[in-house]
Structure 1
Amino acid sequence: MSYAASNHSSSKGGLIVSCQALEGEPFYGSEYMARFALAAEMGNAVGIRANTPQDISAIKKVTNLPLIGLWKEEYNGFDVYITPTLREIEGVIAAGADIVALDATLRARPDGKNLTDLVKEIREKHQVLLMADVSTVEEGEAAESMGFDLISTTLSGYTEYSPQSEEPDIQLVADLSRSVSIPVLAEGKIYSPEQASQCLQSGAYAVVIGGAITRPQLITKKFTDALR
């Protein structure tokens, strides 16, 4: 099942809202995330991205928007933390995610598995769409060859070998869009409608925005920093 053949391909050119809050943040909790997802739907978002089985399950109860699910889990000694092992992948699938997002960098994984073998294992057990969170063109090209259905630029700036910037990596969006045939989603450090539009103009299939919409403390800080 390809992304183009799925029921979710109507998201082209649209906004996907990432509804995530980490422990210690004011809106941490599945009930809050479900309300953010509902607000996103009211604002004409075409999809949701959510972290943890609990949040995914809660969001699926209030909206029928396509849901990209992930599970952030840190393992000592490893940098990979976005849906890093089969345990997290299966937890996300069981919670009802339509698409599973996972770290598709070529860094060492906590379970010691090769990413190619992990994708094969998922395909043998489940019929689910897979999204590759990458930080470089090379990682995106490798993800396509492994059989991922979509690519997202999520990790640009979050690996030591990718460009370190406070701005969205629009160049990566453009380069990936030219070099792969599967949809490329622009994600990461997009804080304005103008930047989102620029991502689409650079070839993005859709745009994912999180903190600029769903983290009020970060939005507030941008204003207070500017006023100083």
Structure 2
Amino acid sequence: MNVLNTLRGGLVVSCQPVDDGPMDHPDIVAAMAAAAVAGGANGLRIEGAANLAAVRPRVSVPIIGILKRDLDDSPVRITPFVEDVRALAEAGADIIAYDATDRPRPETTTAILAAIKAAGALAMADCATLVDGQRALAEGAAILGTTLSGYTDETAGRAEGVDLALIGAFRDLGGFVMAEGRVNTPELAAQAMAAGADAVTVGTALTRLEHVTGWFQDAVARAVEAR
């Protein structure tokens, strides 16, 4: 299986339930993942080694693995340690995503990338800026994601909508481009592809039932108030 060819032109579903919510169990995540593939997903993004290990036997599509941590001395949350890379690889990840921003971190991106390559996986750089993407490509990342645009101090003003400009800028760099972050409707997914993405990741709108329920509840409440 050529992983990038399998993902190219397709949809990746990020099966990440709300932390400590009623759906935050490996067996439920595995069921979500299987349902996403049944619906046509070309790939999956799964957080945590236990969740990934539960999903891997259920699907044959590529899996992007991440491990999130909340650190006291760093804003970096996505796969910050080499040991995280090893855990994800052992659980069956084809691709391992990591925070590729230039922020204080416990281990260097060079070390993280070396560990991903040593594990035989592809590296996905979760970026916030064009400079992040340039650096990640130079270091050997196979996929550039717009994942962190709008979620760093430097990019805080981009927190509305999909960062189509960054997608286009990454396309010009020549790497495989993953549109990710605030892709909440089919129309936005189509716009991301039109802007130059090779694939699109959708998470909250498909797998975080609490959040999506809130969107509809807010709309209903506003309509009631406007009567």
Structure 1 residues 121 and 32, CA gap change in structure 2 (3 angstroms):
closer
Q: Is the 8 A contact 1:151 1:184 kept in 2?
A: yes
For 1:122 and 1:35, locate their aligned partners in 2 and report how far apart those are by CA, in whole Å: 27
SS at match of 1:161: helix
Letter in 1 for 2:193: L
Aligned to 1:133: 126
Structure 1 residues 117 and 33, CA gap change in structure 2 (3 angstroms):
closer
Q: Compute the displacement of 1:205 (Å).
A: 0.4
For 1:130 and 1:160, locate their aligned partners in 2 and report how far apart those are by CA, in whole Å: 24
For 1:70 and 1:156, locate their aligned partners in 2 and report how far apart those are by CA, in whole Å: 17
Aligned to 1:53: 49
TM-score normalized by the length of structure 1: 0.92
Matched, 1:21 2:17: yes
Aligned to 1:71: 67
Q: Is the 8 A contact 2:96 2:116 kept in 1?
A: no
Q: Compute the displacement of 1:122 (Å).
A: 4.0
Q: Compute the displacement of 1:174 (Å).
A: 1.4
Letter in 2 for 1:61: P
Aligned to 2:153: 160
Q: Compute the displacement of 1:121 (Å).
A: 4.6
Structure 1 residues 118 and 219, CA gap change in structure 2 (3 angstroms):
closer
Structure 1 residues 33 and 122, CA gap change in structure 2 (3 angstroms):
closer
For 2:73 and 2:4, locate their aligned partners in 1 and report how far apart those are by CA, in whole Å: 36
Letter in 1 for 2:96: V
For 1:149 and 1:161, locate their aligned partners in 2 and report how far apart those are by CA, in whole Å: 24
SS at match of 1:130: strand
Aligned to 2:225: none
Q: Is the 8 A contact 2:122 2:142 kept in 1?
A: yes
As a proportion of its length, which structure holds more helix? 2
SS at match of 1:176: helix
Aligned to 1:115: 109
Q: Is the 8 A contact 1:38 1:63 kept in 2?
A: yes
Instruction: Pick the aligned partner of 2:192 from 186, 199, 205.
Output: 199
Aligned to 1:147: 140
Q: Is the 8 A contact 1:100 1:130 kept in 2?
A: yes
Matched, 1:224 2:217: yes
Structure 1 residues 77 and 55, CA gap change in structure 2 (3 angstroms):
same
Q: Encode CA deviations 1:34-66: one digit per residue, 9 max, x unaligned.
A: 011011011100000000000001110111111
Q: Is the 8 A contact 1:85 1:109 kept in 2?
A: no
For 2:166 and 2:154, locate their aligned partners in 1 and report how far apart those are by CA, in whole Å: 13
Q: Is the 8 A contact 2:168 2:195 kept in 1?
A: yes
Aligned to 1:177: 171
For 1:211 and 1:185, locate their aligned partners in 2 and report how far apart those are by CA, in whole Å: 16
Q: Compute the displacement of 1:120 (Å).
A: 3.1
Structure 2, unaligned runs of 5 or more: 223-227
For 2:181 and 2:3, locate their aligned partners in 1 and report how far apart those are by CA, in whole Å: 25
Identity of aligned residues (%): 35
For 1:129 and 1:77, locate their aligned partners in 2 and report how far apart those are by CA, in whole Å: 28
Structure 1, unaligned runs of 5 or more: none
Q: Compute the displacement of 1:115 (Å).
A: 1.7
TM-score normalized by the length of structure 2: 0.92
Aligned length: 220
Q: Encode CA deviations 1:171-207: one digit per residue, 9 max, x unaligned.
A: 21112111x2110100011111000000000000000
Aligned to 2:102: 106
RMSD: 1.4
Q: Compute the displacement of 1:8 (Å).
A: 4.0
